Each structure stands twice: as structure tokens, then as C-alpha cells.
């Protein structure tokens, strides 16, 4: 079953595919996803499928489109496929297969890798974006629509972080404890022993942002940074009744943590059934 061409185009647009991208298509069918990525957007990549005839057809179509050097197809089990080169992964699989492959995506893809799925979600991994498209050429379904789900593979923000910044003109020690599940982050903050409120925490790949409010003063601290191996580097915008400025921000992870989703494994049949019922 092939993804309609207008849905292919939209999936690649949602993922912002460009010349620097490497696209891997799981369940590649006639190859149109990777061929379009190469021909229209200048990307490279490959597709995998278990149907040998479709794989052979895809390679012929890539040659006919003049992109055989950038779009290649293999007869291969998707669970045995090395995904580490991908900057974008596209998927049109059955819902239970999505759930089976989800742990592999989260464990092996680099933070910031974009994942786009046609029609089916990833269970309790919430999409960063989703939409419904008209799909008049879709061979199945009465309403002739397709769903598109988009995720950015999250980095690891979990653990304890420390940094120092001026508060009311004096250096203050900040301590942030972060819990994480997928791209959802929550936490608690102490500043020189006083609890501050954490708001609007967001994680997209390795990019993190959040807001802290000083309960003793009308001051707001808006943090934006990128997570590295041991720290976060970014900026903080401080606004208040009498002050407005931007400072450099460098945080150190003093205690490592693991996101809750890091413990995910392929679900067994009973767990798979339960997860499908929740969708």
C-alpha cells in the first residue's frame, strides 16, 4: 500500500527535508518517498522493504528519475536496519509495527532526528505536530484522508543541573532537577535554598527552554540553550520592573539521569494489545 504523492510531499515538507539530509524510509514500497526526497529536495537516503519485487522496482524508478546515486533500496528487515546515519526517518507501517520499532528509534537515532509517520502514531510518545490531509488517491478508506505525525527525537535532559547567575545584583546558585519522558520535561528549582517556579519547559532534540520566576521579586528568567555531553550552553533573558538584560548561561550536569522512555523495550503481545487499546 503506497503513500499518496501529495502526502509524501507534505511529510517531507513537515520534516524540512533539504540537501543536507539523509532520509531512511521504513517500509519503502515503490520508493517514492526517498526518490522524491532526492529529486525534489536534494537529499540522499535509502529505503528498506521485505518485498523483493518492490525493492527491484524502486531501484529501477530511482534510475529512471536520475537519482540512483542518491536513492537506493534494499530487501531488508527494518529491525536489522542500521538507522544511525539518518537525519530523517519516514514510516508507513502498521500500528503494531510502529510500537515495536519505537524503542529502536529512540535508542539509536541521534537527538534532533526527525521522524514522520503516515496514518499511525507511536502510542504514548506524543507527536510534536500532527495533521489530517485530503488524499483523493488513497487506495483504502472511505473518507480519503491521511494523518501525518511528526516527532523530533529528544535529547537527554534528565538529572541534576547547577549554574550561577546574578540575582538582585549578587551571585546566586541555581539547582534544577529534571525528570523526563520522551520530550516532556518537568522539574524543581532551588535558588540559594529558595524554591522558584518552573514554567513552559520545552525540549526539541537538544534544544531546551524554560522560564523561572523569582517569588521574592517581580523578575522573570527565560532560559534557552543546547544540551551537550555534560552541560548546557545558551542565554537567559532577565526581565523585571527595573531591569531587562540578556546574559550567557552555562549549566553543568552534576548528577546524570535517564529519561523514563530509555527503559522501553519491544512490547510483548499482551502489552501491545493494551497500548493499541489506549490509542
Output the pTM of the full model. 0.91
CA distance 16 to 264: 28
User: How much is the pLDDT for 277?
Assistant: 53
Every domain of the chain and the residues it spans: 5-152, 159-260
User: How much is the pLDDT for 131?
Assistant: 96
Mean pLDDT of 202-208: 98
Instruction: Please tell me the total number of residues recorded for the chain in this structure.
Output: 279
Confidence of residue 269 (pLDDT cuts 50, 70, 90): low
Q: Across the strands, what pairs with 132?
A: 147
User: How much is the pLDDT for 248?
Assistant: 97
Q: Across the strands, what pairs with 212?
A: 198, 221
Residues 183, 128 contacting (CB under 8 angstroms):
yes
Residues 220, 211 contacting (CB under 8 angstroms):
yes
User: How much is the pLDDT for 244?
Assistant: 86
pLDDT tens digits for range 102-161: 999 999 999 999 999 999 999 999 999 999 998 888 777 778 898 999 999 999 999 999
Does the pLDDT at position 274 exceed 90?
no
Least confident interval from 18-22, 98-102, 169-173, 241-245: 241-245
The C-alpha cell at 50 is 521485505
Computed over its alpha carbons, how large is the radius of gyration of the chain?
22
219/33: higher pLDDT: 33
Is CATH 2.40.128 the classification given to domain 159-260? yes
First to last CA, the chain: 22
Output the CATH code of domain 5-152.
3.40.50.150
Helix axes 32-41, 5-14, angle to 10 degrees: 60
Amino acid at each position: 500500500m503506497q503513500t499518496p504523492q501529495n502526502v509524501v510531499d507534505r511529510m517531507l515538507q513537515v520534516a524540512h527535508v533539504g540537501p543536507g539530509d539523509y532520509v531512511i524510509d521504513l517500509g519503502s514500497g515503490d520508493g517514492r518517498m526517498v526518490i522524491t526526497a532526492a529529486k525534489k529536495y536534494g537529499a540522499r537516503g535509502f529505503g528498506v522493504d521485505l518485498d523483493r519485487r518492490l525493492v527491484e522496482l524502486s531501484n529501477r524508478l530511482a534510475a529512471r528519475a536520475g537519482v540512483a546515486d542518491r536513492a537506493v533500496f534494499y530487501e531488508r528487515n527494518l529491525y536489522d536496519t542500521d538507522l544511525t546515519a539518518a537525519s530523517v526517518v519516514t514510516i508507513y507501517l502498521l500500528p503494531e509495527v510502529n510500537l515495536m520499532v519505537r524503542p529502536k528509534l529512540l535508542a539509536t537515532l541521534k537527538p534532533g532526528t526527525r521522524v514522520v509517520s503516515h496514518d499511525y502514531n507511536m502510542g504514548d510518545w506524543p507527536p510534536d505536530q500532527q495533521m489530517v490531509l485530503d488524499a483523493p488517491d488513497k487506495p483504502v478508506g472511505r473518507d480519503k484522508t491521511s494523518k501525518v505525525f511528526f516527532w523530533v527525537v529528544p535529547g537527554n535532559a534528565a538529572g541534576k543541573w547547577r549554574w550561577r547567575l546574578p540575582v538582585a545584583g549578587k551571585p546566586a546558585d541555581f539547582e534544577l532537577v529534571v525528570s523526563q519522558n520522551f520530550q516532556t520535561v518537568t522539574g524543581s528549582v532551588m535558588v540559594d535554598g529558595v524554591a522558584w517556579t518552573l514554567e513552559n519547559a520545552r525540549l526539541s532534540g537538544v534544544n531546551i527552554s524554560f522560564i523561572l520566576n523569582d517569588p521574592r521579586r517581580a523578575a522573570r528568567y527565560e532560559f534557552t540553550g543546547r544540551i551537550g555531553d555534560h552541560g548546557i550552553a545558551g542565554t537567559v533573558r532577565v526581565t523585571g520592573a527595573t531591569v531587562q538584560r540578556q546574559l550567557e548561561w552555562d549549566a553543568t550536569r552534576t548528577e546524570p539521569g535517564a529519561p523514563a522512555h530509555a527503559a522501553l523495550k519491544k512490547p510483548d503481545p499482551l502489552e501491545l494489545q493494551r497500548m493499541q487499546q489506549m490509542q
